[in-house]
């Protein structure tokens, strides 16, 4: 067996591909994301680096400019600017464009766009104007409501199309963000050359979750 042999199997597995559609808490639980399954995450990485990945320098392939505006609002609701950068600031919208254009099947890409359109359409109904033109507080409430539907299943069955889309976005955003240099090094702890392995150290010596 090869390098990382164990890490590829179930008890180490995150999902078969982080770009796959996973929309529901149940699905996440089954895939091991919730209970006990995830650790030693495979070195999931992003292409984000420097200015190359900023929206200014990146030519979008999948999204038009209105969609990019909406995308930025959504990813920044998921990972906002605090004392560390926001998702948009580290280039997550470009990351998502590249995952969809370069690394996804046509079917996955189309499914994403169908859900994205449905999201924007529903928001327009709600706000009476385009999502990206709405009041920022209302944008955030709208996203939070859908997210809550996804992670806290209601008693009664509800239409999960939109909340599923938010979870898909959340997954892409989290992966894109924490594999970026700022996400990996400022929010998490990253060591390119850790040195000799120590099996057990006081948590304070590391201080934050390891990026890899």
Partner 1 sequence: MYINGLAKDDLTYDAIVVGSGISGGWSAKELTENGLNTLVLERGRNVEHIKDYPTSMLDPWELPANDDIPHPDRQHYEKQLRTGYTIKESTKHWWVKDTDQPYEEIERFDWIRGYHVGGRSIMWGRFSLRLSQMDFEANAVDGYGVDWPIRYEDIEPWYTHVEKFAGISGKSEGLSQLPDSHFLPPMELSCVELELQKSMKQKFGRVLTNPRMANLTQPLNGRGQCMTRNLCMRGCPLGAYFSSNAVTLPAAAATGRLTIRPHSIVHSLEYNESTGKVSGVHIIDELTGEMKTFHSKIVFLNASAIASAMILLNSRSNRFPNGLGNDSDQVGRNVMDHHLQIGANGTIEGFEDQYDWGRRPQGFYIPRYRNVGKDKREYVRGFGYQGGSGRQGWHRAIAEAAIGSDLKQIAATPGPWSVGMMAFGEMLPHEDNRIFLNFEKLDKWGLPTAVFDVKFRDNEYKMRVDMMNDAAEMIEAMGAKNVSMYDNKGAPGLGIHEMGTARMGRDPKTSVLNKWNQIHNVPNVFITDGACMTSSACQNPSLTYMALSARAANYAADLVKKGDI
**Interacting residue with partner 1 among 60, 127, 147, 161 (CB under 8 A):** 147
Q: Which one, 80 or 124, has the nearer CB to partner 1?
A: 80
Any idea of the CA torsion for 43, 48, 50, 51, to the nearest 10 degrees? Answer: 180
210 secondary structure, DSSP code: B
Sole binder of partner 1 in the list 104, 115, 139, 163 (CB under 8 A): 104
Q: Is 11 in the site for partner 1 (CB under 8 A)?
A: yes
Q: Which pair of structure tokens corresponds to residue 83?
A: 């004392």
* Among 47, 62, 43, residue whose Cα is nearest residue 104: 62
Backbone angles phi, psi at 189, to 5 degrees: -110, 130
| Candidate list 65, 66, 102, 110; residue touching partner 1; CB under 8 A | 102
Minimum gap (Å) between residue 124 Cβ and partner 1: 22
Binding mask 161-180 for partner 1 (x = CB under 8 A): ------x--xx--xx--xxx
Check residue 47 for interaction with partner 1 (CB under 8 A). Answer: yes
DSSP state of 192: S
Under the binding rule (CB under 8 A), the answer on residue 95 touching partner 1 is yes
Name the residue among 120, 131, 193 with its Cα closest to residue 161: 120
Contact 48, 90 (CB under 8 A): yes
Is residue 28 near partner 1 by the rule CB under 8 A?
A: yes
- Choose between 123 and 143: whose C-beta lies nearer to partner 1: 143
């Amino acid at each position: 067996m090869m390098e990382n042999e164990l890490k590829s199997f179930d008890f180490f597995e995150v999902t078969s591909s982080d770009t796959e559609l996973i929309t529901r808490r149940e699905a996440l639980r089954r895939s091991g994301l919730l209970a006990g399954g995830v650790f030693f995450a495979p070195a999931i990485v992003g292409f984000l680096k420097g200015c190359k990945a900023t929206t200014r320098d990146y030519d979008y392939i999948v999204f038009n400019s209105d969609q990019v505006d909406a995308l930025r609002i959504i990813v920044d609701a998921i990972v906002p600017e605090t004392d560390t950068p926001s998702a948009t600031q580290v280039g997550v919208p470009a990351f998502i464009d590249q995952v969809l254009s370069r690394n996804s099947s046509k079917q996955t890409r189309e499914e994403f766009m169908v859900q994205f359109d449905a999201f924007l359409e529903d928001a327009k109904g709600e706000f009476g104007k385009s999502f990206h033109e709405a009041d920022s507080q209302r944008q955030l409430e709208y996203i939070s409501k859908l997210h809550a539907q996804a992670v806290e299943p209601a008693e009664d069955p509800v239409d999960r199309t939109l909340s599923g889309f938010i979870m898909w976005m959340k997954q892409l955003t989290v992966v894109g963000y924490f594999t970026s240099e700022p996400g990996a090094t400022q929010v998490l702890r990253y060591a390119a050359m850790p040195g000799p392995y120590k099996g057990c150290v006081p948590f304070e010596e590391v201080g934050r979750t390891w990026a890899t």
